[in-house]
Structure 1
């Protein structure tokens, strides 16, 4: 396990695992400066295979985390490391507002203008900018994509609103996909979702900028409070399970201090949570609801329009768990039947597999990542 908060630094964590990184800056059309990391080598990828190196693959994180979260587990349980071992050209993105992507060409990160975004803007600006940059550097015409949670939401936004990007996706792999979530199981989110979906309330409680105030001090406090020797350790794990689903046997609880600390350090905007609250309450996958009057100005209609899933023509693979309290089986079915090029919907063969198990289960490689690698191999 990482010590002295090394995991907060992406490069340090990658070196600890033995996978050196390159770092790139990408500017979106609306001025956000994003950080992309690239795994430049793997000891398990034969040098003789370099000439036939496989396509680039973009691996995208979820809500309240950054690319660092993919590297908290050991290398044999980390998807980016396994992909690098299989000779893929691995890129890890960081959405706007995270600790790695907190610059703008015009606005300071303490301004209201900087934080005026939800995951909609990540889909229409951030992902296209990262994809175009990777394809330019690697000289490929398309890439593979893996997203977890919000990393899937943003992909569905991009592929439905900017459909030309479907041709730039060789295959898309959705881990715990989040689009329709009106039937989620989490008791906390069933109560809070509709409340959070009211902008006036959430802005009053949190302000209209950061949801989580990113700082090294809070990260250290979270780490110390949740580590195994702390009397609060069981409280940390139980609170987490109330959101994502209980899995006391398979979830790697030794990582909880690292998960909490990196989450606190990542940061997010209030509008990201509001937008999720809105689609929980509406049972629809739709754009940000500004209210009746403002909707008329933004959309020329009184309600927020739904995303047109039928425009997503890229090959999509879904991976879901029975015990995922953030995306129910019923909502997975709603998504699956609407995707015109769904290749498969893989149910993880473990009854208690929850939302975060897709990154932090002790046997996630056996249960999920091997299936991802197998599906990727179809395109070699």
Structure 2
């Protein structure tokens, strides 16, 4: 294919050893900028995915390659528990202790470690692209004032901050089933591996509910994607979905049920007080995101996970954001996966992201 790929390792403060891939230049060394001028970009995938998210299509259709060919220095993250990031300084993935985390830990430890590493390696502030869960952890981080000093801008695809309006029947059923200890005891596992026997049984049980069509699991969860190539979906199913922690899934389900973005709820007042100093978990206040931080949001009209109604709630939180620092794009025909695998995404979304990044290169 003609792209240089470097492997890097990042160790988080809580001991997880993460693998990152770097594409430092375009195909066969091409790209319009010199080495010192290349702007670093961190790509952060969504839940049950890994860094392959950005590499599944052809080089002319995959965001990682498009950015490299456009003169950017591309860094691809793989969150803890996925195929390339299953190591820890002292814990083994076969133990429940390894899986004792939710997206709170991604906010507190993972993203800061990744951003700091790229910043140190390149000596530059970076741009960020997140999809799905990758947008949620970014927004939560920004609301606490994390990362923004080391970032130039952020592009958020299928932004997830609220899940109240989620309309996928399978997703709603799963969210109602994911209740803390109940689901952990029922599954008997701390690792949520969609390809494992326990989760397969769980999904099979959900699929027997009336009105649930599990013939096409991707559509059942994400909505009717308009623009996926059959061979890309085949490749996706070969590499994905990837594992996450059961606790992470429970935390996402809490976000759906409670209609508010909070830290993990232990569903036990005493434990919440012990952890947080209060009976209810603290809220991530998205209106605290710095008003002058450049944000690009792109969302789809057919997305059943990042629903239009929930994006409206997010935009309401951002209503005081500086007008020239917030770019919002609505793609009527797109569902959740189109933003990372759609054959038309370059023309519709990625070119706009590149223009947004170039506009914000010298701002911070």
Normalising by structure 1, report the TM-score.
Answer: 0.84
Deviation of residue 336 (structure 1)?
Answer: 1.4
* 1:127 and 2:104 correspond: no
1:211 to 192, 195, 211: 192
Structure 1 pair 151/47, CA: closer, same or farther in 2 (3 Å)? closer
Deviation of residue 48 (structure 1)?
Answer: 7.0
* 1:171 and 2:153 correspond: yes
1:68 is aligned to 52
Residues 186-216 of structure 1 show CA distances to partners (whole Å, capped at 9, x for unaligned) of 11112221221x112210232342111668x
* 1:245 and 2:223 correspond: yes
Q: Alignment partner of 1:365: what SS? A: helix
Residues 128-185 of structure 1 show CA distances to partners (whole Å, capped at 9, x for unaligned) of 0011111111111x11000000111111222223x14211110000000111111111
Structure 1 pair 183/255, CA: closer, same or farther in 2 (3 Å)? same
* 1:276 and 2:252 correspond: yes
Counterparts of 2:66 and 2:334, CA distance in 1: 20
Q: Alignment partner of 2:303: what SS? A: coil
* 1:27 and 2:11 correspond: yes
Structure 1 pair 46/254, CA: closer, same or farther in 2 (3 Å)? closer
4+ residue runs of structure 1 moved beyond 4 angstroms? Answer: 44-48
Kept after mapping to 1: 8 A contact 2:131/2:159: yes
Deviation of residue 109 (structure 1)?
Answer: 1.4
2:348 is aligned to 367
Kept after mapping to 1: 8 A contact 2:129/2:157: yes
Kept after mapping to 2: 8 A contact 1:237/1:256: no
Normalising by structure 2, report the TM-score.
Answer: 0.88
Q: How many residues align?
A: 341
1:227 is aligned to none
Counterparts of 1:45 and 1:178, CA distance in 2: 36
* 1:310 and 2:287 correspond: yes
Residues 278-323 of structure 1 show CA distances to partners (whole Å, capped at 9, x for unaligned) of 0000111111110122111111222122102133223211100000
Q: Alignment partner of 1:38: what SS? A: strand
2:84 is aligned to 100
Q: Alignment partner of 1:75: what SS? A: coil
Counterparts of 1:38 and 1:286, CA distance in 2: 33
